[in-house]
Amino acid sequence: MIKVGIVGGTGYTGVELLRLLAQHPQAEVAVITSRSEAGVAVADMYPNLRGHYDGLAFSVPDSKTLSACDVVFFATPHGVAHALAGELLAAGTKVIDLSADFRLQDATEWGKWYGQPHGAPELLKDAVYGLPEVNREKIRQARLIAVPGCYPTATQLGFLPLLEAGLADPSRLIADCKSGVSGAGRGAAVGSLFCEAGESMKAYAVKGHRHLPEISQGLRLAAGKDVGLTFVPHLTPMIRGIHATLYATVADKSVDLQALFEKRYADEPFVDVMPAGSHPETRSVRGANVCRIAVHRPQGGDLVVVLSVIDNLVKGASGQAVQNLNILFGLDERMGLSHAGLLP
């Protein structure tokens, strides 16, 4: 049994991690921390978990207690994992970080986008970007895993087959992405209020979103050269879900793009390439660790449109974290993650 610790278990990614691990036959949550909710029982804060974590309560983060775990998940705001990850790694504990702390390979770039100096640049050389469809073998040997963000997961998985095959013009990529309100986190904010977000949709951070350098980093590695990416995120009046509409110029019209995508993801348990002409819906992946993709070439032109949908809290966060856990500990990658999406 894998002894698990969770730092920051009171947010949406934290409770989703608890929900998924409650179904995992080889994982046991031994420690869960929250400075603000120390002493509160998990089942009292989240009644949906009653009967699963009876006796488990939030505690103040303590490196000694956490280092007794086999693996520690950080479901925290950026900057928190910087302070604790080094101590845990030195004690031999594996770290799976759901925040953005170790996703970017360049500490200076991280500081530019997150408004503070990187707190543990010496650990970046050990950090493995946890996108299994790209880095599975590196994940198996990792000490520190940086779980990708939600927008980066949907966007990279949609663009990868085109860039890896050298088909898309890497200088002209567009990602038009929509997210549910849970992507903004559980903290109180006016923009997340029902009266503000309901019956409306808006773009935001057009000038530059924090996920832009992460997406560009992954696409640059896939293409083997610099990329020109325009990324525009939108807030939509739904709780869960990411819908990424991706545009790329592909001049070679002789390539069977449907076959290309199907071949690229044929052995990937959590990427579903839908039949030609499909339009994947976010509700089809709600609660599931699946990315559903469809590829189109409208009017047979050189502009290719890829549709990519995920649940931002599952494949875009906690589910992908558990997928990394399974790979890291040599388990079946689908363990605890095989459930279907929720309908309606």
Burial class (CB in 10 A: 0-12, 13-18, 19+), 52: middle
Rg (CA), the chain: 20
Nearest to 69 by CA among 95, 50, 51: 95
Angle between helices 212-223 and 107-114 (to 10 degrees): 150
Nearest to 26 by CA among 49, 3, 57: 3
Q: What one-letter code names the amino acid at 249?
A: T
Q: In whole angstroms, what is the distance from residue 157 CA to residue 23 CA?
A: 26
Look-up of token digits 């990850």: 85
Q: In whole angstroms, what is the distance from residue 299 CA to residue 143 CA?
A: 48
Q: What one-letter code names the amino acid at 37?
A: E
Count of all residues that appear for the chain in the document: 344
| Residue of 150, 177, 195, 291 marked catalytic | 150
Note if 69 is an active site residue. Answer: no
Contact call for residues 281 and 328 (beta carbons, < 8 A): no
Q: What are φ and ψ of residue 325, in 5° steps?
A: -55, -45
Q: Is 295 helix (H, G, I), strand (E, B) or coil?
A: strand
The 10 Å Cβ neighbour count of residue 80 is 18
Catalytic residues: 150
